[in-house]
Structure 1
Amino acid sequence: MPISFTPIKAANSLADQVAQALEASIRQGQMQPGDRLPTELLLVAQFGVSRTVVREALSRLKSSGLVASRQGSGVFVQAPRAEPLDLEKGHAASQEAVIQIVEVRRALEAEVAELAAARRSTADLRRIRAGVKALAKAVADGKDGVAEDVALHRVIAQASGNPFLLSTLDYLSQVLAGATRITRANEARRQDFATAVTQEHARIVEAIEAGDPAAARAAATAHMNNAIDRIRQADPAFWRQDGERLAKVLLGGSR
């Protein structure tokens, strides 16, 4: 099904907005590596901007390695070339390594939640609520909920209104999703853990809905702190059976 875009509204940089919309479409999987982007004329019509703006936006995506021109064929999506994190090959997969990644999330998620509570729109709240429902359905259907968990945190990041924070989370997406896979695998083994995660998400969302930045920051920080505690409390059997294997994948080791 062809990708379509909505017109861009005037702002400081139209090219930035077009580039960000295209990049989001690529990173969210709506356009896959090898897919051809719509023609310049179609992008001009869909975004409601000039051809110069579209060309500048495409130039930025080419510089970042997300797209490449093929003579006479058009512009095509490329696989992102940047590695999320350059972790040392000798760094053993460990409980502590996963905790350190969650600590990175804690710094980002607390800021994101605070800004989202201050800036969220009605549309943002609608997307966040949909994200909560999608995660609950995934869990009810017996899925691990990793993709839905990551998606929920991403729509909260969108509500922050800070494209650089969102880009940072996207850049770290592989590592953050890997850490989420480990924490959720651990949490799925204990009903009290799973219940706590649901409640923590609810507190974050409630604070954002209430427009309470301080409460949102506190709730997001507590969620990450509790995730660390749950990893530390993981049954040794979990780490032997699942945790260490998943951590090795996360850290670039053997699968």
Structure 2
Amino acid sequence: MNPEPPPVDLNPSRKQKLSERIASSLRQDFLSGQIALGQKLPTETQLAGTFDVSRTVIREAIAALVADGLLETRQGAGIFVIGHQSSVPILRQDRSGNISHALNVLEVRIALEAESAALAATRRNASQEAQIQESFFEFDRLLQLGKPTGQADFAFHRSIAEATNNPFYVEVLDALGERTIPCDVNSPYATEDVLSFHYQAGLQREHLAILNAISAGDDAGARAAMRAHLSASQERYRERLRDRRARYQSDVNKSSG
């Protein structure tokens, strides 16, 4: 007696979205260092159990990451992380501490994230909205404890990108990686000023305006709040340059006096 054929998947787009979501989650683990370069991944069966999906979905996600040059399958050995870099050269990681680089990144983020916030306001589902709020409150928890907030800050912006339901917004943020949040303690842009409680509490107030607009379904308000937040960050960096120049001029005047 022939076995019954497997059921036909009448919604193939669902599988595709699941594999993209898993690939995006793994990619972020690579970029954040949670999965180290050279590390062997769990088996397909273990990953399927972790993400509660079929092995077919895991294979599709792995294939996408292999194509991106992030993973390598080794016959008889398993799947290994071979790179944390984006396959797009312009987005490769850069640890330069120049403020000009931070300003350039913020300029790109304004164009990208203002629209992602607007889309999130109209496209988000209940789970995605909850994730945005959880990231917001995780930032606040770390801030109150005096701990680095950079990862929570990135998670807040990334969860907004995910709520657009367009995976390319997430991919660009992931490719920018650590440069996305230039004020984090682990960033080359970090200084005592930008790591102060006062500075980061100001960021959180700006985050709240974005969150409120998204929760209200106000796409124009979300776009404006995100633009205002990132533009204010640009201005804060320009102010640091002006302060540096003023201190230099003061030192010159003293030495010549």
- Residues 202/50 of structure 1: CA separation in 2 closer, same or farther (3 Å cut): closer
Q: Which 10-residue stretch deviates more, 195-204 or 180-189?
A: 180-189
Say whether residues 1:202 and 2:203 are aligned partners. no
Q: Are 1:177 and 2:181 matched, yes or no?
A: yes
**C-alpha separation between the residues in 1 aligned to 2:131 and 2:48?**
27
Distance 1:80 1:217, change over 3 A: same
Aligned to 1:37: 41
Q: Give the Cα separation in 1 of the matches to 2:94 and 2:180.
A: 17
Please give the TM-score of this superposition, normalised by the length of structure 2.
Answer: 0.74
| Separation in 2, partners of 1:213, 1:123 | 18
User: Aligned AA for 2:210?
Assistant: I
Amino acid at match of 2:170: L
Structure 2 unaligned regions, length at least 5: 1-8, 248-257
Residues 94 and 179, structure 2, Cα contact 8 Å, conserved in 1: no
Q: Which residue of 1 aligns with 2:63?
A: 59
* C-alpha displacement of 1:14: 2.6
8 A contact 1:146–1:184 mirrored in 2: no
* Matches of 2:216 and 2:63, distance apart in 1: 41
2:120 corresponds to which of 116, 120, 145:
116
Question: More displaced, 179-188 or 23-32?
Answer: 179-188
Give the Cα separation in 2 of the matches to 1:127 and 1:112: 15
Structure 1 distance, partners of 2:70, 2:244, is 41
One of 79, 82, 93 as aligned partner of 2:83: 79
- Tell me the matched-pair count: 229
Can you give the 5+ residue segments of structure 1 that lack an aligned partner in the other structure?
1-7, 241-255
> Over alpha carbons, which structure has the higher Rg?
2
Q: Please point out which of 216, 225, 239 is paired with 2:231.
A: 225
> Which deviates more, 21-30 or 36-45?
36-45
Q: What is residue 137 of structure 1 aligned with on the other side?
A: 141
Alpha-carbon distance in 2 for matches of 1:238, 1:175: 24
Per the alignment, residue 157 of structure 1 pairs with 161
Range with greater deviation from structure 2 (217-226 or 151-160): 151-160
Q: Whole-Å Cα distance in 1 between the matches of residues 23 and 169 of structure 2?
A: 17
Are the structure 2 counterparts of residues 132 and 9 from structure 1 closer, same or farther at C-alpha, using a change threshold of 3 Å?
farther
